[in-house]
């Protein structure tokens, strides 16, 4: 269970209860007692999505927001002429929103619906639900999804594949990158990480305190400048500072280096949660364990869950921002591929190469939390600041075309 965010008010609560009891004693009148509030619960629903036979799995668990679910096997579910390839958050399928049966999903503030995804049975090329990061040619998206300027940005990489594609993309995002300073990030954040609209427009969009994908709700709010870390603060919600999504202690740590102040991999976050995360790897924690430490938006520091492929302490952002962090890490791995200051750490080999367990987890995170309007706007704003882009936001397919582990 999460720590109570009202823990700090216990003394006041105790006083008020004492006063109420005293009042009751004096008046001799016992009013009706409101029942304890029922915790909000969330459901996980499976839909057959055109299945022709079998039974759709049913999950009757009433999940609380910090619980974890394991996606069911298809069981007897079948569709004539098709293979089951996974559960999809979209009824129309697509690799970017697919999760394999057996995937671990955190229930965070929402009901979840998963549609069976079917692929026409092909006896010559049997279905492989795990898209391998290998072959395939990078092609221009000629729809109107991307502006011509963005399409042109990648012009030299179209038609390439594999290691050649990786090298060309690294060259593209390195050439023209005009690194800002670590101090300059305070100003950059005001254009890259501001809430775009609504009651909190212009305030800090902090993924460690936000509770909604559109930024409209949060555990607490920061105002640029006013709440900028000034060296003090002891509890959540007082100050924001600069969070390296890929902890800087693993790449030298000198504040005048390019990766230390790369706007694509730093965001404004609550100072206390930033300190809690420290330089632990991102990961997925064990299910609701008492030893886990939850922040106010239910980000969590705890022991890695069984089966993750890593056995240490990890920090788990909430689900709606996992894809954001995954794509920031993909950027970091590509931009600094081969950079000798990037050392061995819990999630990477020297040269910013993702370890297989981490690569697998981030691919799942990216698939489960597709590119959002927030990331697209942020990519444009960071480009305006330092003149390079995160290719994995523009072209999510690149995750399937590049191998970031070697
Ligand atoms: Ca997201």
Residue ranges and CATH numbers for the domains of the chain are: 44-120 (2.60.40), 148-267+320-401 (no CATH)
Alpha-carbon 69 to chain mean position:
17
> CA 347 to CA 115: how far, in whole Å?
31
Task: Return the H-helix or E-strand segment holding 269.
Answer: strand 266-270
Q: Judge contact between 177 and 387, C-beta under 8 A.
A: yes
Rounded to the nearest angstrom, the distance between the alpha carbon of 322 and the centre of ligand 1 is 6
Per-residue model confidence (pLDDT) at position 135: 57
Per-residue model confidence (pLDDT) at position 5: 37
Rounded to the nearest angstrom, the distance between the alpha carbon of 28 and the centre of ligand 1 is 55
Q: Is the pLDDT of residue 128 over 70?
A: no
Least confident of 2-16, 141-155, 287-301: 2-16
Instruction: Please state, rounded to an integer, the average pLDDT across all residues of the chain.
Output: 86
Per-residue model confidence (pLDDT) at position 175: 95
* Band (9; pLDDT cuts 50, 70, 90): very low
> CA 22 to CA 363: how far, in whole Å?
58
Rounded to the nearest angstrom, the distance between the alpha carbon of 10 and the centre of ligand 1 is 34
Q: Length of the chain in residues, anyone?
A: 406
Q: Judge contact between 240 and 267, C-beta under 8 A.
A: no
**Residue range 174-190: mean pLDDT, rounded:** 96
Beta carbons within 8 Å of 139's beta carbon, 6+ residues apart: 158, 159
* pLDDT digits 0-9 by tens, 32-52: 556 556 668 899 999 999 999
Rounded to the nearest angstrom, the distance between the alpha carbon of 363 and the centre of ligand 1 is 13
Q: Is the pLDDT of residue 91 over 90?
A: no
């Amino acid at each position: 269970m999460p720590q109570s965010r009202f823990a700090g008010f216990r003394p006041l609560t105790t006083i008020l209860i004492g006063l109420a009891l005293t009042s009751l004693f004096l008046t001799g009148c016992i009013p009706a007692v409101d029942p304890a509030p029922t915790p909000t619960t969330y459901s996980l629903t499976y839909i057959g999505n055109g299945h022709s036979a079998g039974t759709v799995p049913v999950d009757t668990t009433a999940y609380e927001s910090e619980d974890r679910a394991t996606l069911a096997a298809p069981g007897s579910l079948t569709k004539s002429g098709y293979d089951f390839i996974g559960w999809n958050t979209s009824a129309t399928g697509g690799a970017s929103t697919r999760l394999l049966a057996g995937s671990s999903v955190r229930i965070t503030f929402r009901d979840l619906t998963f549609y069976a995804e079917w692929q026409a049975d092909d006896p010559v090329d049997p279905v492989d639900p795990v898209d391998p990061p290998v072959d395939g040619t990078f092609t221009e998206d000629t729809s109107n999804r991307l502006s011509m300027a963005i399409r042109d940005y990648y012009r030299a990489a179209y038609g390439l594949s594999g290691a050649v594609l990786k090298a060309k993309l690294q060259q593209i995002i390195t050439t023209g990158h005009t690194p800002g300073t670590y101090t300059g990030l305070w100003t950059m954040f005001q254009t890259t990480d501001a809430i775009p609209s609504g009651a909190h427009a212009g305030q800090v969009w902090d993924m460690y305190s936000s509770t909604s994908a559109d930024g409209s709700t949060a555990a607490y709010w920061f105002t640029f400048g006013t709440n900028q870390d000034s060296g003090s603060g002891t509890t959540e919600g007082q100050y924001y500072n600069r969070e390296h999504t890929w902890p800087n202690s693993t790449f030298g740590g000198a504040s005048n280096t390019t990766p230390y102040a790369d706007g694509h991999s730093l965001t404004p976050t609550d100072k206390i949660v930033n300190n809690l995360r420290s330089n632990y790897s991102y990961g997925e924690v064990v299910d609701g364990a008492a030893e886990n430490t939850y922040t106010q938006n239910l980000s969590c520091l705890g022991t890695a869950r069984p089966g993750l492929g890593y056995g240490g302490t990890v920090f788990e952002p909430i689900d709606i921002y996992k894809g954001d962090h995954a794509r920031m890490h993909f950027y970091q791995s590509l931009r600094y591929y081969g950079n000798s200051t990037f050392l061995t750490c819990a999630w990477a080999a020297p040269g910013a190469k993702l370890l297989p367990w981490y690569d697998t987890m981030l691919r799942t995170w990216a698939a489960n939390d597709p590119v959002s309007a927030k990331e697209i706007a942020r990519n444009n704003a960071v480009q305006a600041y330092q003149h390079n882009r995160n290719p994995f936001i523009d072209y999510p397919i690149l995750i399937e075309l590049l191998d970031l582990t070697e």
